[in-house]
Structure 1
Amino acid sequence: MKDLNAVEVIEVSKSFGTFDALSSVSFDIRENEFFTMLGPSGCGKTTLLRMMAGFETPDRGSLRLHGRNIVDIPPHKRRVNTVFQSYALFPHMTLEQNVAFGLENLGWDRARIKARVGEILDRVHMGQFATRKPAQLSGGQRQRVALARALAPEPEVLLLDEPLSALDLKLRQAMRDELRSLQRDTGITFVFVTHDQEEALDMSDRIAVLGGGKVQQIGTPTEIYEEPVNRFVADFVGETNFLDVEVLEAADHRATVRTPFGRVIEIPAPVDVGKGDATLSIRPEKLSLGDQVEGIDFTAEVLQKHYLGGYTHYVLEANGTQLRASRRNASREGDTIAVGSTVHVGFVEHSARVLSS
């Protein structure tokens, strides 16, 4: 028998008054996958998560959990748990009481609850604090307890609604590693919602980029970053340069284009790119400078320079077109390219991409 997907979203639409939050959205989430819904505010990602949890109902379409339609099943009867941004811990209860609360409501016997609470608190490295209350913990520790409480009933799917956004930078980075390890260790399907591109790229098996109530692209982190299918994805995920180009020929996912620098090159393109005006995307780190130049070669003036420790970022102008470039500072002396100087710039053809609108 073919394995079922953990979650199936089928032609889901949702409106709030005159605002269309979601429009005929469809995708599958695989069993044991760390799946991220990524997008700006208002794109529909949290609405989708709330539908999976049972807190919202679609106007049209259906959602399936391991093949079973769950649209009409109330939240407490779905084997789905949610980790909220606010943690939502009971302040008057100890950590072990917080984790045990849901298990008691499910009717687990006392011995089984005690064993499971101890096991799951140890798994999130909070066993030694079991008798403390939430007010005695740091933000990162409270987040671990919220995870433990959600994982304790052994849900089929764990929903995570921007759970790291309240933490400081270093703690967010540490918690990303812990979340990834937890997902691998438990084998539970994680569905993660965030607007933070770095979080999504770091943790996910696959990412769904949402914009305007629609799925713009689904793919692995590498596919989303290196092979965006349209301008929205290229612009939202990471930094990029957009150049106006003319497509001379297009076939078999390739396009021959004339660049603003007068060069004609052949580069990757989505299937719906035709002849005429188009947009070329190239990431700043794909541009090589000075003695590192390779591939297509042209000259540019250095307008600005920003030293950021490991990298130096540049604003360049070539034939009336501004570009951003990043160069790694491999030596202690840093970069010697000066503002106002003329520098050789290059890129290999396959690192650029022609985009659909």
Structure 2
Amino acid sequence: METRNKAVEIRQVSKTFGRHQALETVSFDIRDNEFFTLLGPSGCGKTTLLRMIAGFEEPTTGQILLHGQSIQSLPPHRRRVNTVFQNYALFPHMTLEQNIAYGLENLGWEKKRRQDRTAEMLELVHMTAFALRKPAQLSGGQRQRIALARALAPEPEVLLLDEPLSALDLKLRQAMREELRQLQRKTGLTFVFVTHDQEEALDMSDRICVLGDGRIQQIGTPRDIYEDPANRFVANFIGETNFFDVEILSLDDTTARVRTPMGIEMTAGHRNLERGQKEATLSLRPEKIGLDDQAGGEIVTGTVTGVNYLGGFTHYVVRVGEADLRVSRRNAAGRPTTLVEGSKVRLGLQAEAARILGT
């Protein structure tokens, strides 16, 4: 029963290209009906891992299982997975319905079944009215929908998506994120999504695997990853944060008391600290720092040295003691932005909003 709840199992998988270690040994599971994201900067190993699941690359070591069955020896076309590529890879000389039906014909589906499935996929992605058009007559978002329909048509057990939204402009990317998530819910398939865009990952994923330097840095829900990063790499890559070098005064299994460069002591939850350790890093998100009337917790005072208006938010830089803090405040109705460079402000630093990181 446990195996059937796992769509993909990665077991001690690594990948080496010549002398280059693209992916250190990694092990994790991707669950049935899950939107699972591989997130990280360029060169971290995420696309290499996706290509190994697809069968386009072979692991140097380890094993990959699909619903409990090893797929090591299977070529890509015999794996019950399909891939949506960044460049869509549509056939320019074919109509949209021909693009979708082509793979089904190669699989030996009889004509009536192909026609029914093609019509079903066009309806699923809201492209029925465009069935006889060719890819060049479509917008980027419409081509993306057809690429998705074509990949879903053969009824794969897992859909792999290799940065499928990166070629779209910002507004269209945001709209397609919602469409993609709804599509995953409608089909009930396991989606494995590769991106370097943290906002995409946080918005769409059930769980996120953060990769860095060819290693897994953390796996968890979007909230886990953002609110409780495992290390400095994750805290820095996901969202914005303030980092401060701090001196450890005392610690137990879950919390530590530290001396900060803001001239105060704080107690906060910690990650990876060891007994006897003297120094660590304090992470504090800009939007979790209270400003003036919102200040609570440990109160410090400082001077605004920078103001950046960004529509929904205003970002401030505030000098406190020997530290510069980035602070974000939502621009709410009835609360005008009045702070300017040189303004004196009160900041509230709450222990539950901070994390002390050992690495």
**Length-normalised TM-score, structure 1:** 0.98
List alignment gaps of at least 5 residues for structure 1.
none
Q: Deviation per CA, 1:318-345: give whole Å up to 9, x if none.
A: 1121111101111256311121122111
Contact 1:252/1:271 (<8 A) preserved: no
CA distance in 2, matches of 1:207, 1:11: 19
What's the counterpart of residue 169 of structure 1? 170
What's the counterpart of residue 128 of structure 2? 127
Matched residue type, 2:122: L
Contact 1:229/1:356 (<8 A) preserved: no
Query: Is 1:79 equivalent to 2:80 in the alignment?
Result: yes
CA distance in 2, matches of 1:331, 1:147: 41
User: Deviation of residue 263 (structure 1)?
Assistant: 2.0
* Map 1:220-259 → 2, pairs under 5 A: 220-259=221-260
User: Deviation of residue 253 (structure 1)?
Assistant: 1.6
Query: Is 1:306 equivalent to 2:308 in the alignment?
Result: yes
Matched residue type, 1:183: Q
CA distance in 1, matches of 2:23, 2:331: 44
Q: Deviation per CA, 1:143-197: give whole Å up to 9, x if none.
A: 0000000000110000000000000111001100011001001011000000000
Contact 2:272/2:357 (<8 A) preserved: no
Matched residue type, 2:170: L
Query: Is 1:335 equivalent to 2:345 in the alignment?
Result: no
SS in 2 for 1:192: strand
SS in 2 for 1:98: helix
User: Deviation of residue 287 (structure 1)?
Assistant: 0.8
What's the counterpart of residue 293 of structure 2? 291
Residue range with higher mean Cα deviation, 201-210 or 315-324? 315-324
User: Deviation of residue 251 (structure 1)?
Assistant: 1.7
Matched residue type, 1:290: D
Q: Deviation per CA, 1:45-101: give whole Å up to 9, x if none.
A: 000000000000011111111111112110000000000000000000000000000
Aligned residues with identical type, % of pairs:
64
Q: Deviation per CA, 1:88-116: give whole Å up to 9, x if none.
A: 00000000000000100111111111000
* Map 1:1-357 → 2, pairs under 5 A: 1-2=1-2, 3-274=4-275, 275-331=277-333, 334-357=336-359
SS in 2 for 1:239: coil
Contact 2:240/2:286 (<8 A) preserved: yes
Matched residue type, 1:151: L
Contact 2:262/2:322 (<8 A) preserved: no
Contact 1:83/1:163 (<8 A) preserved: yes
Matched residue type, 2:227: E
SS in 2 for 1:118: helix
CA distance in 2, matches of 1:120, 1:95: 11
Matched residue type, 1:241: N
Q: Deviation per CA, 1:177-226: give whole Å up to 9, x if none.
A: 01100100101100000000000000000000000000000000000001
SS in 2 for 1:175: helix
Runs of 4+ in 1 over 6 A off after TM superposition: none
CA distance in 1, matches of 2:212, 2:251: 27
Matched residue type, 1:78: R
CA distance in 2, matches of 1:80, 1:214: 24
SS in 1 for 2:244: strand
SS in 1 for 2:306: strand
SS in 2 for 1:269: strand
Contact 2:12/2:25 (<8 A) preserved: yes
SS in 1 for 2:47: helix
SS in 1 for 2:112: helix
CA distance in 2, matches of 1:352, 1:189: 34
Contact 2:316/2:328 (<8 A) preserved: yes
CA distance in 1, matches of 2:248, 2:31: 38
CA distance in 2, matches of 1:356, 1:168: 38
CA distance in 2, matches of 1:57, 1:287: 47
Matched residue type, 2:45: G
CA distance in 2, matches of 1:206, 1:236: 16
SS in 2 for 1:261: coil
List alignment gaps of at least 5 residues for structure 2.
none
CA distance in 1, matches of 2:256, 2:215: 27
Q: Figure out how many residues of one structure are paired with residues of the other and give that number.
A: 357
**Length-normalised TM-score, structure 2:** 0.97
